[in-house]
Structure 1
C-alpha cells in the first residue's frame, strides 16, 4: 500500500501529514474522460464555427472563431474565410471520429476481455447476459409476429423469374465432368463420437439436455442419427443434373 504525503497549511505553518491513498479508482479511465472532454469541446467549437459561417456575428461567436484560428495567418476579414472555416470544421470532425474510434476500440476490447473471463468462471451467467434482450433507446415499438412473418413472406414466398446470362451455360459445361459426391449416411456411431468429444456440462441448447446425459443415454443415438439424416436430406444440395437443367433453361 502506498503512502501519500500532503502538506497542509495551518495558521501559516506547513504541517506534513501522511495519508493512505485507498480511494477506489473510477470505472472510467482518466484518458477516456479526457478524450470525451475533447470531443465535447470540439463539438461546441464546430457549432460556433457553423454559426459564424452562416452570418452570426455575435461577440462571443467572433471571439471563439478568433481563438480557433489563433497562431495562424487566417484573418476573419479575408476573402476565403468561408473556405477556411469549412476546412477547420472538417478537421475537427475528423479528430472527433478518430477519438471516438479509439474509445470504441477500448470498449470492444474491454467487453471481450470481460466475456472471456466470465466464460472461464461462470459460463451460465455469460450465456444469460448474451441472451438478455438489448434495451433500445430509439423508442420504436418492436414489430409483432404477424408483421414480421408477412414481411419476410413477401420477400421469400413470391415467385420471381430471373433471366440468367450466358455465363450459366459456361458453368454448366464446366460442371458436367464433376463426379457426384457419394451420399452421406449418419450412423449412431457418428453421433456417439460427436457427443464423446463435447464438454459434459456446457450450456445446453433448446432441449435443456447437457452432453453428459446424451453420452449416457446411448439408446437415443439411433433416433438422433435418423433425425440428423432427415435434416440433411432436406437441406442437401441438388444433384448436378438438376443444375444442368436449370442452367440450360
Structure 2
C-alpha cells in the first residue's frame, strides 16, 4: 500500500487537470480499491483522522481521476453505510496518492482528551468555588 504514496501525476499542458498516463491511473485505481477494502474491515473508532489538503492543480487532478473510478464502486453500493465506507476509503486513497500524512492511530475515545485545556481550567475553578476554597 505504501507504494502508492507520492505517485507522480502528470497534468496536461492545457491546464484542465486531466491525468494523462495510463500507468498512473492503474496505480491510482489499485490504491483506491485497497483503501476501500481496508476501510470496510476497519471499525469506525479505528478510522484515521484525515488531513485537510490544498486545492493545487495536482491534487485536483487526482480527485478528478478518482471520481471517475468511484462510480463503479458507488453503483455496487447497497446502502448508505456502504456508501460511507466507499467515500471514506476514497478520501484515504487521495491522501495516500498525494502523500498527505494522516494519523493511523485512529480517533481518541478518551473523554479527557476531548475537553480542551481551557475547559478543564474553567471546570477546576468552578469546582474550587463550589467547595468554598476560592473566596
Q: TM-score range by the shorter chain?
A: under 0.3
Q: Compare the two structures and name the one with the higher strand fraction.
A: 1
Where relative contact order (Cα < 8 A, 6+ residues apart) is larger, the structure is: 2
TM-score by structure 1 length? 0.16
Greater gyration radius: 1
TM-score by structure 2 length? 0.25
